[in-house]
Amino acid sequence: MYQVDAFTQQLFKGNPAAIIPKRRRFIFMLKIWQAEDGKIQMNFPIRQPQKVIDYPELLNHVIDQPFKEVYLNAQAYILVCESAQDVINATPNLPNIRKIAEQYHVSTALTAESAGYDVTITAASNDYDYVARYFAPHKGIDEDPVTGSMHTGLAPLWAEKLGKKQLIGYQASARGGKLFCDIQDGQHMFKSLQKPLK
């Protein structure tokens, strides 16, 4: 077993992940391989978000920054903020996010169990195509360092808004992490930089 810092090129940044080498290429139908450029690539199906006009009023009280649009996909409510700085500065109201999750449930593909919707916040960025943060306190994750699965909704959202298929997203958690996203034929391919810890 190896531990790697996924979605980064710096130690103790990105998402800490355990890698267990196996002879199979597919684990839970997720294809993972190392590209010639050294990046670890993963193919995820797109989880296209839909714009929501009639959303729960409590959603107005999950962060202390303004947002201008709300989207929803199979995983989370996505709040589009005015600026990348608003995303970075936002303080989440974790009790309100838990309440949203208790009131609105979704069945997850891996567990088929009912779980509440998570909350992610995002905005366009001058340094990247978009920035984001991800909160799921009802699952024991106050803020996830880097959430690869959430970018299966964020990348197609920003691809549509920006009119491009290859994007760079940055998850602005305390650890932070960069995701290289490529939208292809109904699939969302990540190219994530990883550095093994020794």
Phi, psi angles (nearest 5°) of residue 115: -140, 150
pLDDT (tens digit, 9 = 90+) per residue, 94-141?
A: 999 999 998 876 544 444 455 689 999 999 999 999 999 999 999 999
Question: Is pLDDT above 80 for 11?
Answer: no
**Other beta carbons within 10 Å of 126:** 8
Q: What is the mean pLDDT of residues 23-34?
A: 56
Cα pseudo-dihedral 163, 165, 166, 168, rounded to 10:
60
Predicted pLDDT of residue 195:
45
Predicted pLDDT of residue 22:
55
Q: Which of 4-8, 23-27, 49-53, 149-153 has the lowest mean pLDDT?
A: 23-27
Predicted pLDDT of residue 183:
86
Q: What's the domain count of the chain?
A: 1
Question: How far apart are alpha carbons 87 and 81 in whole angstroms?
Answer: 7
Predicted pLDDT of residue 7:
54
Predicted pLDDT of residue 193:
54
Predicted pLDDT of residue 182:
86
Predicted pLDDT of residue 126:
96
Record the pTM.
0.80
Q: What is the mean pLDDT of residues 7-23?
A: 55
Residue, of 8 and 33, whose pLDDT is higher? 33
Q: Domain residues for 153?
A: 2-196
% of the chain at pLDDT higher than 70: 71
Question: In which band, very low, low, confident or very high, does the pLDDT at 45 lie, cut at 50, 70 and 90?
Answer: confident
Which string of b and e fits 148-174 if b means at least 16 CB within 10 Å? Answer: bbbbbbbbbbbbeeeeeeebbbbbbbe
Question: Is pLDDT above 60 for 39?
Answer: yes
pLDDT (tens digit, 9 = 90+) per residue, 54-83?
A: 999 999 999 999 999 999 998 999 999 999
Domain harbouring 100, CATH code: 3.10.310.10
